[in-house]
Structure 1
Amino acid sequence: MPANTPQIERQTPGKGKIAFQGELGAYSHQACRDARPGMEVIPCRTFEDAIEAVKSGAAEMACLPVENSTYGRVADIHHLLPESGLKIIDEHFVRVHINLLAVRGTKLADVKAAMSHTVLLGQCRGFLQEHGLERITGADTAGSAQIVAQDGNPAVAALASELAGEIYGLDVLARHIEDRQDNTTRFLIMQPEADMRPRADKMMTTFVFRVRNIPAALYKGLGGFATNGVNMTKLESYMVGGTFTATQFYADIEGHPQDANVALALEELGYFTDYLEILGVYPADPRRGEPS
């Protein structure tokens, strides 16, 4: 994109419906509310259900977690994105603050156990050990909060978001008790149509590709990003088609396909691939690149 091209502001949240995987009060629900506050949320059982909600017209957008700063790639999501038929139009970072939630009127001294998804239980080891709390594995975070609210037992609390506490009428006994204060999940906002407009000063482009079966194809294909000064922030490989010989790559780069250097880098990559698909062009989250 030429330097004199006028910049357009980040897309304004609109009305409509946005689908996510999980129960009301999940961190994916929080991402929907933060990124698209004007939209009605649709909780879905699986990632596939959230994608299907958009494809069927039941929702205009889907909000899907793609990676976590502590635990890496969200399982299976890289396989689902290219096959979804949806395009990425935005990204949103959510700081995963974990809170101890209990039925109204409960004091911290009353709590003997904490329930949550196994991942969250592992992220609060210090707090749980300090207070001698037994760990109870729940199906998910918001679901654990719902169970605690329904059971009404002050001896069992939930580890979840403050949003879950609001929804299920629980008191927050302790805030931000996670062991790591930099734990962040990256979410992608997706819809059926691509939005290729330059909407911010800093844009991101996500694509998937498979290299041709020739020596050094990956090395040569990626060389264009280095020689053209394009920063690649993520490159991951995964198997496709149930075979060890078919490897697909997922990549995030800084820039827009209309930028001269990005266009050259993608053109060079194209010489060494037999499949290349752009999954989305979107504004970088303002927190991208900031120190944790």
Structure 2
Amino acid sequence: MSKNIVYQGEVGAFSHLACLEHFPDHTPMPCRSFAQAFAHVRNGEAELAMIPVENTVAGRVSDIYHLLPEGGLSVIGERYLPVHHQLLAVKGATVEGITSARSHPMALGQVRKRLEALNITPVTDVDTAGAAKAVATLGDPSVAAIASTLAAETYGLDVLLENIEDSPNNTTRFLVLSTQAAMPALDAEPVVSSYVFKVRSVPSALYKALGGFATNGLNLTKLESYMVGGSFNAAQFYIDVEGHPESDAMVHAMEELAFFTESVTHLGTYAAHPSRGLGKV
């Protein structure tokens, strides 16, 4: 298996930065889509995938929750990347002359207030680095990109304004995916377990399904719902739980969850990021 790590986006994307920072011994490999990134890992062209799932300002990356239960990969880790957005333009451009800025919708959501203050119109693009590449190709000094310093270096753009994100704590959480699960030992470091489940169609099913986590003292750090099967009547849920599947508390909680659900998929158990500040569960 190749020692590649895949990410969605062009060279210079923030996912590219996350790969360089957290897996410097792997070769980053860009992909057109999240689905393509999953496929490259499944077929052995890459060992790992670095996939963003949520941002502290812009919220969740919705496409991922549909792919995770169907993608055939296991979550083996989580990584956090502080995200600093730069206003990039062709050489000779000025801030005063910029009328529009291109970037990925998630990035635009993270600089919304700053763009409004500058009277710059946001324009959606496929990804941050792709926007930088497009601005470089276009050569229009009135059009900017919101992207990384790596993108500026890659595509020969000037940084007109640094760190224009609305929040100083702007951070993106990534999941590291592999074909091979990597279950930590029960007595190892604190862990997080991720699951997808579909509740049974009975009154209070979600409330009852999640009750086992509360009664067993387990902390749910994430609960997301999304529609499945093209129907408004079928919802699937994604959860992150601070706990190990083999602990007594988790065993009891999962028994209760299983009773009120049609299906439960374990996506992976992995070491908790240090920023969570957890003790063993």
Q: Measure the CA separation in 1 of the matches of 2:109 and 2:15.
A: 19
The aligned counterpart of 2:162 is 175
Q: Percent identity?
A: 50
The aligned counterpart of 2:251 is 263
Pair 1:246 & 2:229 matched: no
- Once the two structures are TM-superposed, the CA of residue 19 in structure 1 deviates from its matched residue by 1.1
The aligned counterpart of 1:66 is 53
Per-residue CA shift, 1:243-273, capped at 9, x if unaligned? 3333221110101112221222112222222
**Relative to structure 1, is the Cα distance of residues 252 and 146 closer, same or farther in structure 2, using a 3 angstrom cutoff?**
same
**Relative to structure 1, is the Cα distance of residues 200 and 23 closer, same or farther in structure 2, using a 3 angstrom cutoff?**
farther
The number of residues matched between the two structures is 275
Pair 1:117 & 2:103 matched: yes
Query: What TM-score do the two structures reach when normalised by structure 1?
Result: 0.84
Aligned amino acid, residue 235 of structure 1: L
The aligned counterpart of 1:230 is 218
Aligned amino acid, residue 136 of structure 2: A
Q: Which runs of 5+ in 1 are unaligned?
A: 1-14
Paired residues for 1:168-207 under 5 Å: 168-198=155-185, 201-207=189-195
- Once the two structures are TM-superposed, the CA of residue 136 in structure 1 deviates from its matched residue by 4.8
Query: What TM-score do the two structures reach when normalised by structure 2?
Result: 0.87
SS at match of 1:83: coil
Cα RMSD after superposing both structures: 2.5
**Relative to structure 1, is the Cα distance of residues 182 and 217 closer, same or farther in structure 2, using a 3 angstrom cutoff?**
same
State whether residues 205 and 254 of structure 1, in contact with CA within 8 Å, keep that contact through their aligned partners in structure 2.
Answer: yes
SS at match of 1:176: coil
Find 2:81's aligned residue among 94, 104, 108.
94
Aligned amino acid, residue 267 of structure 1: E
Q: Measure the CA separation in 1 of the matches of 2:172 and 2:212.
A: 30
SS at match of 2:153: helix
Aligned amino acid, residue 167 of structure 1: T
**Relative to structure 1, is the Cα distance of residues 288 and 167 closer, same or farther in structure 2, using a 3 angstrom cutoff?**
farther
Q: Measure the CA separation in 2 of the matches of 1:55 and 1:26.
A: 22
Q: Which runs of 5+ in 2 are unaligned?
A: none
- Once the two structures are TM-superposed, the CA of residue 281 in structure 1 deviates from its matched residue by 0.5
Deviates more, 1:141-150 or 1:224-233: 141-150
The aligned counterpart of 2:271 is 283
Aligned amino acid, residue 132 of structure 2: A
Q: Measure the CA separation in 1 of the matches of 2:124 and 2:154.
A: 21
SS at match of 2:267: strand
